Chains A and B, each alone.
Chain A
Amino acid sequence: MAKPIVMPQVGQDLTEGLLVEWNVKVGDTVKKGDVIALVESEKASFEVEAYEEGTVLSLLYKAGELATVLEPIIFLGEEGESVPQESNEPSPVAAVSTAAAVEPALQSDTTSSSSSSPLARRIAAQNGLDIVEISGTGPNGSVVKRDVENAIEARASAPVVASPTITRPAAAADPISAEAEDTEMPFSRMRQVIADRLLLSKQTIPHFYLMGQADITELQIRRKAHLDITGEKLSLNDIVVHATALTLLEFPQLNALVSTTGTVLKGNVNIGVAVSVDGGLMVPAIENTPLKPVSEVSRLIRDYAASARRGINKSQAKSTFSISNLGMYGVDVLPIINPPEAGILGVGAVKRELREHRGGVHGRDILSLTLAADHRAIDGAYGAKFLQSLRETIETYSDFS
Chain B
Amino acid sequence: MTQAQYDVAIIGAGPGGYVAAIRAAQLGLKTAVIEREHLGGICLNWGCIPTKALLRSSEMLEHFNQASDFGVEASPAKANVPKMVARSRSVSAKLNMGVTHLLKKNKVDVIWGEAQITAPGKINVSASKKPVVKPAHPAPKNTKGHGSYTAKNIILATGARPRILPGFEPDGELVLTYFEAMMPQKAPKSLLIMGSGAIGVEFASFYHALGTKVTIVEMLPNILPQEDSEIASVVQKAFEKRGIRILTKTRAEKLQRAKTSVKVTLSDDAGTKTTETFDKVISAIGVVPNTEGLGLEKLGINSDAQGIATSKFGKTSVDGIYAIGDVTGAPMLAHRAEHQGVVCVEAIAKGTSHSIETSRIPGCTYCQPQVASIGLTEAAAKAAGYKLRVGRFPFLANGKAVAMGDTNGLVKTIFDRETGELLGAHMVGSEVTEMIQGFVTAIGHETTEEHLMQIIYPHPTLSEAMHESVLDAFDIAIHS
Chain A contact residues, CB within 8 Å of chain B = 91-93, 95-105, 107-109, 117-120, 122-123, 126, 139, 144-145, 227-228, 230-233, 352, 354, 360-363
A117 touches B446 (CB 8 A): yes
- 7 A-B pairs with the lowest CB-CB distances in the bound complex, closest first: A231-B385, A117-B446, A119-B446, A104-B352, A92-B28, A99-B351, A92-B349
17 contacts between A and B (CB under 8 A): A93-B7, A93-B30, A95-B351, A96-B153, A99-B349, A100-B320, A105-B311, A118-B451, A119-B419, A119-B446, A126-B418, A230-B385, A231-B383, A233-B385, A352-B311, A360-B317, A361-B300
Q: In the assembled complex, which residues on chain A have CB atoms less than 8 Å from the CB atom of B315?
A: 103
Interchain CB contact (< 8 A) of A118 among B28, B300, B386, B447: B447
B450 touches A118 (CB 8 A): yes
Return B448 CB to nearest CB of chain A, in Å: 5
Q: 1/0 per residue B299-341: CB within 8 Å of A?
A: 0101000000001110101111000000000000000000000
Q: In the assembled complex, which residues on chain A have CB atoms less than 8 Å from the CB atom of B451?
A: 118
Return A121 CB to nearest CB of chain B, in Å: 9
A96 touches B7 (CB 8 A): yes
Q: With A99-B348, A231-B383 known to touch, is A117 a contact of B447 (CB < 8 Å)?
A: yes
The chain A residue sitting closest to B384, CB to CB, is A231
A95 to B345, CA, bound (A): 12
Q: Does B254 reach chain A (CB closer than 8 Å)?
A: no
A227 touches B384 (CB 8 A): yes
Q: In the assembled complex, which residues on chain B have CB atoms less than 8 Å from the CB atom of A105?
A: 311-313
Q: Does B445 reach chain A (CB closer than 8 Å)?
A: yes
Q: In the assembled complex, which residues on chain B have CB atoms less than 8 Å from the CB atom of A139?
A: 354
Return A125 CB to nearest CB of chain B, in Å: 10
Give the bracket for the number of chain B residues in contact with chain A. 35 or more
Interchain CB contact (< 8 A) of B28 among A91, A123, A126, A232: A91
Q: Contacts A105-B311, A120-B446 known; list 18 others, CB within 8 Å.
A: A91-B28, A96-B29, A96-B152, A99-B351, A100-B319, A102-B351, A103-B315, A104-B347, A104-B353, A105-B313, A108-B352, A119-B447, A119-B448, A126-B418, A227-B385, A230-B385, A361-B318, A362-B302
Q: With A92-B349, A102-B351 known to touch, is A119 a contact of B421 (CB < 8 Å)?
A: yes
A109 to B315, CA, bound (A): 19
Interchain CB contact (< 8 A) of B348 among A96, A118, A144, A233: A96
Q: Does B136 reach chain A (CB closer than 8 Å)?
A: no
B352 touches A100 (CB 8 A): no
A122 to B452, CA, bound (A): 14
Return B283 CB to nearest CB of chain A, in Å: 31
Interchain CB contact (< 8 A) of A109 among B7, B317, B352, B384: B352
Q: 1/0 per residue B180-204: CB within 8 Å of A?
A: 0000000000000000000000000
A102 to B317, CA, bound (A): 13
Q: In the assembled complex, which residues on chain B have CB atoms less than 8 Å from the CB atom of A104?
A: 313, 347, 351-353
A230 to B382, CA, bound (A): 10
Interface positions of B from 19 to 53, Cβ below 8 Å from A: 27-30
Q: In the assembled complex, which residues on chain A have CB atoms less than 8 Å from the CB atom of B353?
A: 104
The chain A residue sitting closest to B320, CB to CB, is A100
Q: Does B298 reach chain A (CB closer than 8 Å)?
A: no
A3 to B380, CA, bound (A): 57
The chain B residue sitting closest to A97, CB to CB, is B152
Q: In the assembled complex, which residues on chain A have CB atoms less than 8 Å from the CB atom of B241?
A: none
Q: In the assembled complex, which residues on chain B have CB atoms less than 8 Å from the CB atom of A120?
A: 446
A100 to B351, CA, bound (A): 8
- Interface majority SS (helix, strand, loop, mixed), chain B: loop
A92 touches B29 (CB 8 A): yes
Q: Does B286 reach chain A (CB closer than 8 Å)?
A: no
Q: In the assembled complex, which residues on chain B have CB atoms less than 8 Å from the CB atom of A363?
A: 311, 317
Q: Does B350 reach chain A (CB closer than 8 Å)?
A: yes
A130 to B109, CA, bound (A): 51
Q: Does B420 reach chain A (CB closer than 8 Å)?
A: yes
The chain A residue sitting closest to B419, CB to CB, is A123
Q: With A92-B28, A107-B352 known to touch, is A101 a contact of B319 (CB < 8 Å)?
A: yes
Q: In the assembled complex, which residues on chain A have CB atoms less than 8 Å from the CB atom of B29?
A: 92-93, 96
Interface positions of B from 433 to 480, Cβ below 8 Å from A: 445-448, 450-451
Return A149 CB to nearest CB of chain B, in Å: 10
Q: In the assembled complex, which residues on chain B have CB atoms less than 8 Å from the CB atom of A92?
A: 27-29, 349-350
Q: In the assembled complex, which residues on chain A have CB atoms less than 8 Å from the CB atom of B383?
A: 228, 231
A100 to B27, CA, bound (A): 15
Q: In the assembled complex, which residues on chain B have CB atoms less than 8 Å from the CB atom of A126?
A: 418-419
Return B358 CB to nearest CB of chain A, in Å: 13
Q: In the assembled complex, which residues on chain B have CB atoms less than 8 Å from the CB atom of A108?
A: 351-352
The chain B residue sitting closest to A362, CB to CB, is B317
A104 to B349, CA, bound (A): 11
Return A3 CB to nearest CB of chain B, in Å: 21
The chain A residue sitting closest to B386, CB to CB, is A231
A231 to B385, CA, bound (A): 4
Q: With A126-B418, A361-B300 known to touch, is A95 a contact of B384 (CB < 8 Å)?
A: no
The chain B residue sitting closest to A354, CB to CB, is B317
Q: In the assembled complex, which residues on chain A have CB atoms less than 8 Å from the CB atom of B350?
A: 92, 95, 99
Q: In the assembled complex, which residues on chain A have CB atoms less than 8 Å from the CB atom of B445?
A: 117-118
The chain A residue sitting closest to B353, CB to CB, is A104
Q: In the assembled complex, which residues on chain A have CB atoms less than 8 Å from the CB atom of B450?
A: 118
Q: In the assembled complex, which residues on chain A have CB atoms less than 8 Å from the CB atom of B418?
A: 126
Interface positions of B from 384 to 400, Cβ below 8 Å from A: 384-386
Return A123 CB to nearest CB of chain B, in Å: 5
A98 to B347, CA, bound (A): 11
Return B268 CB to nearest CB of chain A, in Å: 29
Q: In the assembled complex, which residues on chain B have CB atoms less than 8 Å from the CB atom of A117?
A: 445-447
A95 touches B313 (CB 8 A): no
Q: 1/0 per residue B338-366: CB within 8 Å of A?
A: 00000000011111111100000000000
A102 to B315, CA, bound (A): 11
A144 touches B317 (CB 8 A): no
A233 to B384, CA, bound (A): 9
Return B167 CB to nearest CB of chain A, in Å: 34
B313 touches A103 (CB 8 A): yes
